[in-house]
Amino acid sequence: MGEKLVTPVNIPLRLGTESTKSKKKLKFEKNTVGSVHVANAELNDTIHRLETLVEEDKYSTSSISFRLFQDALKWHDSENTSAMRYSEATKEFFWTGKRLLGGQFLRFMRGFGQ
C-alpha cells in the first residue's frame, strides 16, 4: 500500500489509496497474464444497460447527456489532454449555459468538491 509510482514528470503518487469522497470506486486488478480486468460487476451491468437502452431506442445517442459522456470518455482516453477537442454539441451546450447563467452554471457543472 505504501508503494510509490513516479509519473513522467516525476510526481510521486501513492498506490493503493482510495478517495474518501466517493464510496463507489471501480477497482482494477492485474491478473497473471498482465491484462487488466474489472473486479466490479456494476460496470458490466451499466454497460449492458446502456447497450440495451440504445438498441431499444429508449436512450437517444443524439441527447446532450450521451454526447457529454462520449467527450468525457474521449478526454480520459487521450494521451495528451491538451490535444483533446470537444464536439460542437458539447461546446454549444457549455457556451449556452455560460451565457444564460454565467459563473453559476460553471460552478454547478464542476461538481462537488472541485
Would you list the DSSP string of 62-78?
Answer: TSHHHHHHHHHHHHHH-
Question: Which of the 8 DSSP states describes residue 86?
Answer: -
Grid coordinates representing 114 are: 472541485
pLDDT score for 3: 53
No. of H helices and E strands in the chain? 4, 4
Grid coordinates representing 77 are: 482516453
pLDDT score for 39: 52
The full set of domain ranges for the chain reads 38-114
Would the pLDDT of 90 be above 70? yes
Cα gap 77→74, rounded to integer Å? 5
Would the pLDDT of 29 be above 60? no
Of the listed ranges 26-30, 51-55, 97-101, the one predicted with least confidence = 26-30
pTM of this prediction exceeds 0.95: no
